[in-house]
């Protein structure tokens, strides 16, 4: 059975292919995907919890550094 990450990756790859076919920029698609992810979060999570999740990702964008919680 596929993991949540594998399922999401497959959906994103499909969306990227559709965007390319329809001349939609990857940036516009990414913004739309973020908006849809937030809509899913809103079903079960508080605004503060969602904001905390987004801040965590924003603070850990660099693939060259460890996550903040792993740093000394």
- Chain segment 21-66, per-residue pLDDT in tens: 999 999 999 999 999 999 999 999 999 999 999 999 998 888 765 5
Residues in the chain: 72
The reply to whether the predicted model has a pTM over 0.85 is no
Domain count, the chain: 1
User: Cα(58)–Cα(62) distance, rounded to whole angstroms?
Assistant: 9
* Domain that residue 56 falls in: 4-70
Task: Tell me what pLDDT residue 66 has.
Answer: 57
């Amino acid at each position: 059975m596929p993991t949540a990450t594998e399922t999401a990756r497959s959906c994103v790859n499909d969306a990227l292919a559709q965007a390319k076919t329809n001349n939609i920029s990857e940036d516009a698609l990414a913004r739309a995907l973020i908006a849809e992810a937030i809509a899913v979060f809103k079903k079960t999570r508080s605004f503060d919890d969602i904001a905390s999740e987004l801040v965590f990702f924003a603070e850990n964008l660099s693939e060259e550094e460890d996550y903040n919680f792993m740093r000394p």
